[in-house]
Each structure stands twice: as C-alpha cells, then as structure tokens.
A and B are shown apart, each in its own frame.
Chain A
Amino acid sequence: MPQLDTSTWLTMILSVFLALFIIFQLKISKHDFYHNPELTAKMPKQNTPWETKWTKIYLPLSLPL
C-alpha cells in the first residue's frame, strides 16, 4: 500500500502543519463577527470632579467629632 511508504511522511506532516496550523488559522482569525449595532437606553453616569478623587475628609478618624 503506498500509504505505508515512510519516505514521504516527513514532507506530508510538515505540509499539514503549515497548511492546517498556520495558513488556515490565519485566514479564519481575520473573520470579524461583529455585534449588531443597538441603541444604548441611557447614558453612563458622568463623575463630578470631586467624586473622581478620594480625599482625606472621608476618613472617619479625621472627621470632626
């Protein structure tokens, strides 16, 4: 049976490695499955400038009484 002639096995296996693991995966990884565009119901809450920074006045030990 010609399939059992091991002289060509190295070529075959290397070609398969090239074709399957590299070329095909490069091609398929370029497919872009995007989500359908949809309307966001509300805008995200914008932070006021004093809420973006933690300041010392929130520490309980430093609050007056």
Chain B
Amino acid sequence: MNENLFTSFITPMMLGLPLVTLIILFPSLLFPSSNRLINNRLISLQQWALQLMSKQMMSIHSTKGQTWTLMLMSLILFIGSTNLLGLLPHSFTPTTQLSMNLGMAIPLWAGAVITGFRNKTKASLAHFLPQGTPTPLIPMLVIIETISLFIQPMALAVRLTANITAGHLLIHLIGGATLALTSISPTTALITFIILILLTILEFAVAMIQAYVFTLLVSLYLHDNT
C-alpha cells in the first residue's frame, strides 16, 4: 500500500530523459508575454492581478528592497500556478519535491541575508541579539538566534513540500475510500464524497495560500535586510 500511495510523487522520467523539466516549464505557457500597449483579455487580467499583488506586497519595502519586485512576483505566480495545476487528476505537482523547494528557498534566503550583510553589516548582525536582554543570557540567546536564522530556508522549503504533499495524499486516500465504499454502503460513500469535495475546496485555498506565504516570508527576510 505504501508503494501505491507514493507513486504519484516519483519524478517523471521517460527512458532517462527528464520529462520533469517540461512539466515545470508548463505553467509559463499560461502567462503570455505582453506585446502591445493594450493587450487581449487574458494578458490584461494577469497584468491587473500582478499590479494588485505587487502593490500589496512591495509597498512596505524601501527603494532597495523594491528592486526585488520582479523576483517576488514571478515567485508567487510560479508557485501559485504550479500548485493549482497539481490539483488536476493524475498530474504531477513539482512543488511536492523537496529538491525543488530547497532550490527556491535557499538562493532567495541567502540573497536576502547576504544583501543585508554587505550593505548594513551592523544592523544585520544586531538581529542576533534582541533588545533588552539581561546580560547573563546573551551567549545563549546569540546561539538561539543563529540557529533560528539558519533554519529559515529549511522551514520555507519543508513547509511548502509538506503542505502540498499532505493535501495530495489526503485526496488520494479519501478518494480511494469513497470508491471502495460505494459497493459496500452507498450512504457512507456519500458522506466520504462530501468530505472529498470539502477537501478539494480546501486544497484550492491551500494552493494559493502557500504561494502567498512563501513569497511573504521571503519578502519579510528581505525587509529585515534592506
């Protein structure tokens, strides 16, 4: 049963060729690049959504932090579209792979921290010691703050992986249970079917929320360091 449950998370390769690259590149097909001043409906809609998101997320940053707008906007669109496409039946969701989430979280977090170190060295080192700590506690607190700094990229990656994987697993399990129950007792199958519908609605919300949370946290790390 373990084997059957986790087969949807195996990286798709076809005879050694990386099919997964095409799957990861697919969401970019859904965002056509704008060629004209006034575009068609789809591109105008996406442009409006992009403007809304960038105003909401980037207004708290300084001028230097706002240079990251392109990066953060493409991040939220990438994660959001990948998660939503993964809710289609039999599709492979790249964000369930820990490797990919680490590949996104570590460079972005490292970029924010190194920017802080290079430009505002004293202020970024000051993050290690919160204000107003009693003197005997200082060494221990510095160690704790260092650990909490280095755990940030790991937490980002694992949070996204675990949330999406768990959601997909639940859908698999409850869907399988509903199917098995229809021949035994249709009433229970109906109850499990309703649970499945509610779960799918939750998964839609989770897909978008996770994208938002990831981007928000990266933007927070950026705010601390610019």
Contacts and interface: CB of A to CB of B under 8 A. Distances in A.
A44 to B, nearest CB: 25
Q: How large is the interface on A (under 10, 10 to 19, 20 to 34, 35 or more residues)?
A: 20 to 34
B84 to A, nearest CB: 15
Given A8-B20, A12-B99, A13-B99, A26 B33 contact: yes
A28 B50 contact: yes
Interface stretch (B66-74, B176-184, B185-193): B66-74
In this complex, the member of B27, B31, B99 whose beta carbon has the largest number of chain A beta carbons within 10 angstroms is B99
A26 B47 CA distance: 14
Contacts of B27: 19
Contacts of B32: 27
A2 B11 contact: yes
Interface of A: 1-6, 8-9, 11-21, 23-34
26 contacts: A2-B11, A3-B9, A3-B99, A4-B98, A5-B10, A11-B21, A12-B94, A13-B103, A14-B21, A15-B21, A15-B25, A15-B94, A15-B100, A16-B94, A18-B21, A18-B25, A19-B27, A21-B71, A23-B28, A24-B77, A24-B78, A27-B28, A28-B70, A28-B73, A30-B33, A31-B33
Interface of B: 6-7, 9-11, 13, 18, 20-21, 24-25, 27-28, 31-35, 37, 47, 50-51, 70-71, 73-75, 77-78, 94, 96-100, 102-104, 161, 165
